[in-house]
């Protein structure tokens, strides 16, 4: 009887393990294929005159506060751009100081368009 209980318990643990196994691969694959977040750090006026559809706009002065709310995972790939790259550089420094590890400066808005194969 004791052997039966052991085998039955082993069977149940095995069933639980193998039923959860696909979920672990699903969560790992979603991390692997996460899309890059593009953030326009120009002013709202500049954004209203010219913007890239679907990109987030956050002023470079508010970047840490707003990015931490929208993208709490500090490993999120973030590409920043502005008019020429200067404010994106300031935003990059701020995010790095806040612990973001996968942030880069794409330069100006036209550079961001070229990198992504977009036309105005």
Asked whether residue 25 falls in the same domain as residue 43, the answer is no
Asked whether residue 13 falls in the same domain as residue 48, the answer is no
Residue ranges of alpha helices (H) inside the chain are 2-32, 44-49, 63-70, 86-97, 109-116
Asked whether residue 52 falls in the same domain as residue 109, the answer is yes
Asked whether residue 40 falls in the same domain as residue 77, the answer is yes
Question: CB count, 10 Å around CB of 100?
Answer: 21
Domain that residue 103 falls in: 35-116
Q: How many domains does the chain have?
A: 2
How does pLDDT run along the chain (120 residues), one tens digit per residue?
455 444 555 544 454 444 544 444 343 333 334 689 999 999 999 999 999 999 999 999 999 999 999 999 999 999 999 999 999 999 999 999 999 999 999 999 999 999 999 976
Asked whether residue 67 falls in the same domain as residue 26, the answer is no
pTM, two decimals, is 0.72
């Amino acid at each position: 009887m004791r052997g039966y209980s052991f085998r039955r318990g082993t069977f149940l643990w095995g069933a639980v393990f193998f039923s959860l196994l696909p979920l672990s691969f699903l969560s790992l694959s979603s991390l692997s294929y996460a899309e890059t977040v593009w953030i326009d750090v120009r002013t709202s006026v500049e954004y209203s005159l010219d913007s890239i559809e679907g990109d987030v706009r956050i002023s470079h002065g508010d970047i840490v506060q707003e990015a931490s709310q929208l993208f709490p995972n500090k490993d999120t790939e973030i590409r920043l751009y502005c008019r020429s790259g200067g404010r994106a550089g300031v935003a990059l420094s701020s995010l790095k100081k806040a612990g973001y590890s996968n942030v880069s400066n794409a330069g100006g808005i036209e550079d961001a368009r070229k990198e992504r194969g977009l036309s105005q």
